[in-house]
């Protein structure tokens, strides 16, 4: 059946009402075309370069400020902060408490809006949250009345996937964080570390291009923390998402990231950016190496020997 070129597929369906065999074939062709388009979209996402041109930034903070109204004036949580994060990059953010790390992350997540400047993802200003950005909060935010699986599936509600696919993805992510035996448990039956892993599974399940993580391993015991770091790196190496990772732990930042952004407080700003020239895959031996210690000391120094805080305007 030939269709006038100006007629949309929906109009064509309305016209015939009944689904003809030709139409079914045309739908199959459309599906194939859709798959090809998806594939070429995938291909344009790769290859991922470690030092892309600035205009290829996945996340771009441009002169971003965030002021909070306080009694008698405004508190500047972020002051004209600029930072570009390339596609597929792993960037860690460290800095003293209150320097604006969570603010930065929330702005990229679209959960907060800048008072000045703009935040771009793929060159488009962030206007709100979206399934392209998975967020793991500093405080694991689980619904207490939903099971582990329910919480993870809830994170998939924006994806419009069929129920069976949502279930498959949720179970895969739950297994990935080692909570397979607790899929039907409610959060109150989980330890702090397990709750945090559930929050991680929720972010992984959405399979976002960007992962925004705020102290995601803060509540974990030392061993689980190291395992979670390794797991995150393994996933990142395989899937090359863009990761913005906030942590207090300088060792963790150096172990995971390609660049460590050191922030300063009052007002919140970028103090220094330290490149991490350590090879990948990162291993336990590397953690104990002299090269690792050198980078860690450099970051440590930048965090803990900042110039004295200036009084806030």
Interface contacts to ligand ATP, rule CB under 6 A: 68, 70, 75, 77, 97-103, 138, 268
Residue 98 touches which member of Mg ion, ligand ATP, none, C-beta under 5-8 Å by kind:
ligand ATP
| Shortest distance, position 102 Cβ to ligand ATP, whole Å | 3
Integer angstrom CA distances of residue 5 from 2, 16, 36, 91, 228: 9, 16, 21, 48, 54
Residue 75 touches which member of Mg ion, ligand ATP, none, C-beta under 5-8 Å by kind:
ligand ATP
**Where on the phi/psi map is residue 257: left (φ > 0), alpha (ψ -120 to 50), or beta?**
beta
For residue 2, the surrounding DSSP H or E stretch is: none
Residue 193 touches which member of ligand ATP, Mg ion, none, C-beta under 5-8 Å by kind:
none
| Shortest distance, position 278 Cβ to ligand ATP, whole Å | 25
Residue 99 touches which member of Mg ion, ligand ATP, none, C-beta under 5-8 Å by kind:
ligand ATP
Q: Residues 191 to 210: which contact Mg ion by CB under 5 A?
A: none
Distance CA 86, CA 96 (A): 25
| Shortest distance, position 259 Cβ to Mg ion, whole Å | 19
- Of the pair 75, 154, the CB lying nearest ligand ATP is at 75
Q: Looking at 98-106, 259-267, 277-285, 295-303, which segment touches Mg ion (CB under 5 A)?
A: 98-106
Q: Which residue in the set 65, 76, 102, 242 belongs to the binding site for Mg ion (CB under 5 A)?
A: 102
Q: Looking at 85-93, 138-146, 163-171, 227-235, which segment touches Mg ion (CB under 5 A)?
A: 138-146
Q: Does 103 bind Mg ion (CB under 5 A)?
A: no
- Characterize 83-114 residue by residue with b for buried, 16 or more Cβ atoms within 10 angstroms of its Cβ, and e for exposed: bbbbbbbbbbbbbbeebbbbbbbbbbbbbbeb
Tokens of 18: 């009944």
- Of the pair 60, 102, the CB lying nearest ligand ATP is at 102
For residue 78, the surrounding DSSP H or E stretch is: strand 73-86
Phi, psi of 164, deg, nearest 5 = -65, -40
- Of the pair 98, 180, the CB lying nearest ligand ATP is at 98
Residue 300 touches which member of ligand ATP, Mg ion, none, C-beta under 5-8 Å by kind:
none
Q: Tell me 152's DSSP state.
A: H
Helix, strand or coil, per DSSP, at residue 275: strand
Q: Which residue is nearest to Mg ion (CB)?
A: 102
- Of the pair 86, 92, the CB lying nearest Mg ion is at 92
Q: Cis (ω within 30 of 0) for the bond into 62? A: no
To 5 degrees, how large is the angle CA 164–CA 165–CA 169?
120
* Interface contacts to Mg ion, rule CB under 5 A: 101-102, 138
């Amino acid at each position: 059946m030939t269709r006038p070129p100006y007629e949309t597929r929906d109009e064509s369906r309305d016209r015939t009402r009944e689904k003809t065999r030709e139409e079914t074939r045309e739908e199959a062709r459309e599906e194939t075309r859709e798959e090809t388009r998806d594939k070429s979209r995938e291909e344009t996402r790769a290859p991922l370069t470690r030092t892309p041109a600035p205009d290829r930034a996945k996340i771009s903070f441009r002169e971003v400020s965030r002021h909070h109204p306080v009694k008698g004036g405004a508190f500047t949580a972020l002051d004209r902060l600029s930072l570009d994060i390339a596609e597929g990059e792993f960037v860690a953010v460290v800095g003293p408490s209150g320097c604006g790390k969570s603010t930065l992350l929330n702005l990229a997540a679209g959960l907060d809006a800048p008072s000045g400047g703009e935040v771009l993802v793929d060159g488009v200003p962030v206007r709100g949250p979206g399934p392209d950005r998975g967020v793991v909060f500093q405080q694991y935010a689980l619904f207490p009345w939903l099971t582990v699986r329910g919480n993870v599936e809830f994170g998939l509600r924006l994806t419009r996937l069929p129920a069976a696919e949502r279930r498959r993805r949720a179970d895969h992510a739950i297994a990935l964080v080692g909570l397979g035996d607790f899929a039907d448990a409610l959060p109150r039956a989980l330890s702090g570390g397990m709750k945090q892993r559930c929050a991680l599974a929720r972010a992984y399940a959405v399979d976002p291009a960007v992962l925004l993580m705020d102290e995601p391993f803060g509540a974990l015991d030392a061993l689980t923390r190291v395992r979670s770091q390794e797991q995150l790196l393994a996933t990142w190496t395989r899937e090359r998402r863009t990761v913005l990772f906030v942590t207090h732990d300088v060792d963790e930042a150096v172990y995971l990231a390609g660049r460590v952004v050191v922030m300063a407080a009052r007002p919140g700003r970028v103090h220094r950016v330290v490149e991490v020239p350590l090879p990948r895959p990162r291993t336990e031996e590397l953690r104990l190496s002299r090269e690792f210690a050198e980078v860690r000391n450099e970051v440590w120094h930048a965090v803990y020997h900042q110039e004295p805080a200036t009084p806030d305007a």
